[in-house]
Amino acid sequence: MSATDSTNTFLEKAWSDHGPKLISGFSRPVYHNLMGLLGGRRYDKRAYGGMIRHTEAAMLSHWAARVPPGGVVVEIGCYGGLSTSYLLRGLKKRGGRLYSIDPFNSDLDRQARLTDHLVPLDNKPTRALVAERLRRNGFDGLFELIEGYSQDAAAHWDPSVKIDFLWIDGNHEQAWRDFKDFQPHLNPGARVAVHDAHPRYGYASVVEDVKRIFAEGAWADLEHVKSIISGRKVG
Ligand SMILES: C[S@@+](CC[C@H](N)C(=O)[O-])C[C@H]1O[C@@H](n2cnc3c(N)ncnc32)[C@H](O)[C@@H]1O
């Protein structure tokens, strides 16, 4: 079976409504639920206006804790800093650095033109509020919040900063573009995870983009956690 065939088989199973999802193989729901209970309810989802489930949250910490020492995590789509906090919780163990990109509450007219209308623009958290929240959570010195759009951040990315974990949860109509823009900056074996990438729990546009992303080259350690599809890029 070719790399693309095995990835397609994985995606078909991940998105299937039929049959039990076994612990080993394409999905590990018992493990994910256990992780979610142990580490996925630490931050106040409602207060943060967060959009991830507890199982997803716990796995973000889990993956971030597995980057190499001093590794780099990039988040596209921070909103109120919920997923950011879980990423930093894992990354803190590796002494790494996180860059999180979001327009926050800047120029809302421009956001109305450039974003996908799936996230309310009223009362959008400010960069200052999220930074303060992350400091209170114990992450001072570990993060940089980039106020702007992923496509602009990618165009000005310092090529010496290589990425070990790319988490895509920004504009739901440009997951493919986000992946392609940051692909040149991924370290070999970097993890990529895409949110809202399940036909039932996510958005059709992201599902289509995820098919393209994971059809590109070779991947290892593919995982499906609720609406997240993730894998390590190995070729
Ligand atoms: C679904 S929310 C992120 C939720 C967050 N990851 C969490 O789980 O708590 C998507 C965010 O991405 C932002 N966004 C939209 N287009 C973007 C882009 N091109 N670059 C960066 N962020 C973007 C939106 O404004 C919004 O704040």
Query: What's 69-90 look like in SS3?
Result: CCCEEEEECCCCCHHHHHHHHH
pLDDT above 90 covers a percentage of the chain that reads 85
Centroid of ligand 1 to alpha carbon of 148 (angstroms): 10
Ligand 1 pocket by Cβ (under 6 Å): 50-52, 76-77, 79-80, 82-83, 101-103, 115, 119, 149-151, 169-171
Does position 26 have pLDDT exceeding 80, yes or no? no
Report pLDDT digits (tens) over 66-77.
999 999 999 999
- Per-residue confidence (pLDDT) for residue 28, from 0 to 100: 76
Average pLDDT of the segment spanning 37-41: 96
The CATH number of the domain holding residue 85 is 3.40.50.150
Does position 116 have pLDDT exceeding 80, yes or no? yes
The total number of structural domains that make up the chain: 1
Centroid of ligand 1 to alpha carbon of 232 (angstroms): 22
Angle at 71 between CA 66 and CA 72, to 5 degrees: 110
Residues in contact with 224: Cβ distance below 8 Å, sequence separation at least 6, in sequence order: 10, 13, 14, 26, 27, 198, 230
- Looking at ligand 1, which atom is closest to the CA of residue 118? 1
Report pLDDT digits (tens) over 118-138.
999 999 999 999 999 999 999
Which H or E element spans position 191?
A: strand 186-194
Taking each helix axis from N to C terminus, what angle separates 127-136 and 82-91, rounded to the nearest 10 degrees? 40
- Per-residue confidence (pLDDT) for residue 159, from 0 to 100: 98
Cα 100–chain centre separation: 10
For 83: left if phi > 0, alpha if psi spans -120 to 50, otherwise beta; the answer is: alpha
Place of tokens 């256990």: 34
Given pLDDT bands bounded at 50, 70 and 90, which one contains residue 19?
Answer: low
- Residue 126's domain comprises 3-233
Centroid of ligand 1 to alpha carbon of 85 (angstroms): 14
> Which of the listed residues 56, 78, 147 should we mutate to test ligand 1's pocket, taking the one with most ligand atoms within 8 A of CB?
78
- Looking at ligand 1, which atom is closest to the CA of residue 77? 12
Report pLDDT digits (tens) over 172-231.
999 999 999 999 999 999 999 999 999 988 999 999 999 999 999 999 999 999 999 999
Tell me the CA distances in angstroms from 123 to 21, 48, 173, one per residue in order: 39, 12, 22
- Per-residue confidence (pLDDT) for residue 133, from 0 to 100: 98
- Per-residue confidence (pLDDT) for residue 23, from 0 to 100: 47
Average pLDDT of the segment spanning 89-94: 98
> 55 with 224: CB under 8 angstroms?
no
The bridge status of strand 186-194 relative to strand 163-168 is parallel
